[in-house]
Amino acid sequence: QVQLVESGGGLVQAGGSLRLSCAASGSIGSIDAMGWFRQAPGKPRELVATIATRGITNYADSVKGRFTISRDNAKDTVYLQMNSLKPEDTALYYCGAKHWASVQYNYWGQGTQVTVSS
C-alpha cells in the first residue's frame, strides 16, 4: 500500500500564499501520478492539479495561473504552491495517488484545511 500525509494548510487572508506538501511512503514504485483535490462544505470533491510521469501537469480552470504543482522524487514528496488565494479556495485539500494499473486515483491522505478570509 501507499500512505500519504498532507501538511501546510492554515488560515490566510485573500491574496496571500500557502504551500501544501504531501509525503508518500510505502510502495512508491507502483505510483504513476499524484494530485491535489479539494472539498468545500456542501460541494463534491474536485480535482485541483495533477502531475504524472514525465512531469505532465493538469490544472482546474479555477486555479490556472495561481497554483503550481511540483514534485521532489528524492524526497517522495509532491507540493502545491498556492498564490493569490481567494475565499472560494477555502476547502479541505487532499493528496491523492494513482496506481499504474488503475484508471482512477485510489490512495488518499487525511486532508489539510485551507481557509482564506475575505
Q: pLDDT by residue (tens digit) across 13-50?
A: 999 999 999 999 999 999 999 999 999 999 999 999 99
Residue 73: is its pLDDT beyond 90?
A: no
Q: Which pLDDT band holds residue 99 (cuts at 50, 70, 90)?
A: very high
Residue type, 53: T
Alpha-carbon distance of 109 to 111, in angstroms, equals 6
CA distances from 5 to 22, 70, 76, 95 (A): 5, 16, 11, 8
